[in-house]
Structure 1
Amino acid sequence: MSRPVRVLSLYEGFFAGGARILHSDVVASLAATGGHEHQVLSLTSAARRDASVQHAHDDARYRRLRDAGVGITTFDRVAGDHPIAPDAFTPAELDRAAALFDEADVVLSLKEQPLSLVLALAQAGLLPSRPTAACLHRSDPTHSGPALGWLRDAADSGAVSATIACAVSTSDAYARAGITASEAWIIDNGIDTRRFRPGTRLERRRIRAGLGIPESAPVVLLAARFDAMKDPGLFLAAVARHARRFPDTHYVMCGSGMTAQNAAFTPLVAESGVDAGTHLHALGLREDMPQLYRIADVVALTSAFGEASPLCLAEGAASGAIPVTTDVGDAARVVEGFGLVTPRDPDRIAGTWEYALAHRVAMRSAAIRARARLDRRRMIDDYRGAISGLLLRDALAA
């Protein structure tokens, strides 16, 4: 193909989340390196999540894609607790989507939720024949609600011709759920190690001072949204136990809904037994994550389900923080050799934080040595290869 490959990505919406960070990084990077022209179609222009409304144009991923020259089309809808069903799209939305599909050579769906649009186009007789891959980022697809059925229907009909999973646990889970696309790739997550790097002593002192954290105080960081999947209550219960033994430790919580302005947050803190004098910093949604990782000694993950290959563990490790995670998805494989895995028990989690902080010099060094293995360049090349593979398979089929 002499002209650039035209790729259309489907998003449910623009809001905070690891899968959107990763996919937007892939799209922006491929667009910047040439050979591809990228468009994004978002089914919504705002999202109501975690006790806040997030507008697409305010989202860092949206801005980065725009800066990379990626065209973005949004439908005038608000994403909520339930994905948009196939019968909910208007004729005007279907016509606009069909035109974008027609202009594309390859279609990528960020998770399974946007596949309701693919089914709607097919039902209306408006779906052009294009190789389409569903990019999957869960290790428990049963929590996808009706979207799992949409993926199954799209794969069975051939409207989705491939899946791209970000973890072995993800690929296995969707296979168990009956997803049988013609091809299945596994592309491990990667991060931008230029952004996520250890801080200098001066940087760490400045960032800590801005948050009121002493230079020598231990810091445990949770970067997650306020959601049952992330189980912030388990993190807070571990904080309550750890802080009683180590009262000088500071605990940083950041992510959508991780703030006292969320009506459910403060009661959860009280229920978890966190004492009033505990150094708890509830920062809410932040766009300066590289800086926050640089001041952390431990990056924690207490998720209960659904994780595949959590970006926060890799981002924290590349910045010099020690990952301590529950055994979800591929988390244990991600942190092998430089992090710790703990049972879902607040006492055991607090004890693992204690061990990590007691051995922070050696463990921090191990995390920093793993930076090359965590870098994103391999991931970008693998996505480029998958897009080429989709086109080749389509050409051979023709």
Structure 2
Amino acid sequence: KKSHLNHLIRFLKQEYNETVEKQNKTIEKKTVSFDMLWVSYTKGLEVCKCEMSNQQISGTIFSTERVVKMINFEKVSFFIIIIKVVDYDGHGFKHCYVERKIREFNGEKSFSDLSVVPFKFSESHDFLKETIYCIGKKFFELAANRHFMEYTGSLFRWTKVNGCYEIEAIRADGRVMIDLKSFATMNPGYPMDNAKPPNPLKQLDPIANKGKGCIFLCYGPPGTGKTLTAESVAEFLERPLWTIGVHELGTDLAKMEQQLVKILDIAFTWKAVLLLDEADIYFEKRTSDNTKRNAMTGIFLRHLEYYQGILFLTTNRVMSIDDAFRSRITMCFHYPKLIPEKRKEIWKNFIDGADLDLNADDFSKYELNGREIRNILHIAQTLAKGNNEGITKDHVIKVIRIAQEFQEDM
């Protein structure tokens, strides 16, 4: 038996002598050719780097495979790596599997340039280990519970195109709600096979919960502070603000009701301030000639009856609201058209907030709402910066006149 084993060892040394020499050079230079990936990426190997975000993650190789695919009528080889990682699916921590592809390339590449990097070939192994340990610890602390936190960094938005997910990184500084269980409910199509949405109906059924919420209606012309009121209440109560509109709820009756139930349930769970902004279509007066709109209004009336959280509704068409909504509304706030004194206050707040050398008295005579004032100051600042100048009264007046010309043309 020993002699047989010696024969096998000699055979393997002769058969794979060239491969071993190449692998020794790979280890020394930390570069690899496509044909040698199968030697460097073996089952159980610890790897790092998230191709999507370029941030460091940790996992172990579960399996590898070389495949050939037809792309634009041309055969292209790929090295497929299946990585086992730990994730949280809204119910508990468990293993899941992530697939990464390395497309065939010519010559040699540094491991750091590939979508999957083995720990042993990283340039700062110990530092990397410590970084990933800290990230993992933070993930463990945040994943299993709900957290309302301040965030600085990027988020990754994905869209499905021809069966593939396209990832876009966008800046997302601000306050965020971390709740993976509710995320699974609202995004069942998220590309994680083990994310199962919980039952979203449990908080909304009991008759005992009827009428326990606070529903506020803010009505008045645009730019008078309706949305700002909801934002201020959320700020004062130190609660998350969730703004929803027609684009999130849609107008398909079945889908709209499902989405509304999910949103109301999650908002109540978060103790969030919910803002339904300019969504007059959902609570317009019912008429005999529009059954679909009547059904949408009925759906909203039924579910708002049992909502137990804080909800703000905003509209600039209060006369079109269905009479049945009045009994559901806890309190109404009227926002009249801005008078010069109020416009002056708004100008002053924006000017002081941006630390600008301007006088609010110079602009309060112009009939503008709060949103228009903010936009005008922003454009005037951009205009001055483009000319390498400090912002002046003339810059602001110029933008105001352009805005007025546009309103006249409308």
Larger radius of gyration: 2
* TM-score normalised per structure 1: 0.27
Structure having greater relative contact order (Cα 8 Å, sep ≥ 6)? 1
Q: TM-score when scaled to structure 2?
A: 0.26
Question: Counting strand residues as a fraction of each chain, which structure ranks higher?
Answer: 2
